[in-house]
Amino acid sequence: MDFIEISARTVDDAITQAMIQLETTSDKLEYEVIEKGTTGFLGFARKDAVIRARKKNDVIDHIKSFLGKVFDAMELKVELEIVQDEEANVINIELKGEEMGVLIGKRGQTLDSLQYLTNLVVNKNAEKFVKVKIDTEDYRKRRRETLENLAKNIAAKVKRTKHSVALEPMNPFERRVIHSTLQNDKLIKTHSEGDEPFRHVVVTLKRENRDYRSRDRYERRENSEYRQNNRE
């Protein structure tokens, strides 16, 4: 927002008028004093105080404005529930409405894109980085639970078949869920392969377990040959 120029009898009066015109409070007002003003002598040669003021770039207002324009373009009625954690520099946004499935998209891709764009807009001219998280209908939690179950099932399959499994491409958040779910499994390890947007997680047995199986197969083969030779 551009600065506006306000003049009044005193600087305090000018600040008050600025707050009224900009419809804001003192903590959200940015101003500089151009003229301090003078009372003159017996009321003569008095000069008004002059300030230049504008409303501070409020992050919450910025978010509401941006998302409001997006939802208007999509012809969607969406209610925003915003909770700001100033200590962690995180803003959590819950979207509420009747057609939230449209905003979630396939495997949350639309929701992720909306979150990514909002972060870009909010942090474009920000003094310090603010992380914006967007969710609706508890999708993030439900998706995490689905991925955790998938990771455990894939790990069981790898242990059973002794073959590595490459999962479908996932975004960074989903890959982290897979990695963190299996990080304490003593038999399994995970790593990511490929480039975005096709980067995916590969689940495999740890090397020591493969070496153990190789030794075990060798010993079984040796024992079988020994028994066969003794029969001959």
Which candidate, 53, 67, 55, places its Cα nearest to that of 6? 53
More confident residue, 1 or 15: 15
Q: How far apart are the C-alpha atoms of 144 and 5, rounded to whole Å?
A: 52
pLDDT computed for residue 2 by the predictor: 72
Residue 216 has pLDDT above 80, yes or no: no
Q: How far apart are the C-alpha atoms of 189 and 206, rounded to whole Å?
A: 6
179 band by pLDDT with thresholds 50, 70 and 90:
very high
More confident residue, 87 or 140: 140
Token code pair at residue 118: 């909002």
pLDDT computed for residue 47 by the predictor: 86
- Least confident segment among 10-24, 43-57, 155-169: 43-57
Query: Strand order of the sheet with strand 188-193?
Result: 165-166, 200-205, 188-193
pLDDT computed for residue 62 by the predictor: 85
Mean pLDDT of 82-86: 88
- Please give the mean pLDDT across all residues of the chain: 86
CATH architecture of 141-209: 2-Layer Sandwich (3.30)
Residue 69 has pLDDT above 50, yes or no: yes
Residue 229 has pLDDT above 50, yes or no: no
Residue 96 has pLDDT above 70, yes or no: yes
Mean pLDDT of 40-66: 79
Q: What class has domain 59-137?
A: alpha beta
- Contact present, 111 and 97 (Cβ < 8 Å): no
Q: Do 4-55 and 141-209 share a fold?
A: no
**Domain 4-55, what fold?**
Defensin A-like (3.30.30)
Mean pLDDT of 73-83: 94
Q: How far apart are the C-alpha atoms of 148 and 182, rounded to whole Å?
A: 9
Each domain of the chain, given as residue ranges in start order, spans 4-55, 59-137, 141-209
The alpha carbon dihedral of 156, 157, 161, 166 has a sign of: negative
**Residue % of the chain over a pLDDT of 70:** 86
The reply to whether omega before 197 is within 30° of 0 (cis) is yes
| Tens-place pLDDT, residues 106-120 | 889 999 999 999 999
pLDDT computed for residue 3 by the predictor: 83
More confident residue, 150 or 224: 150
pLDDT computed for residue 42 by the predictor: 58
Q: How far apart are the C-alpha atoms of 179 and 185, rounded to whole Å?
A: 10
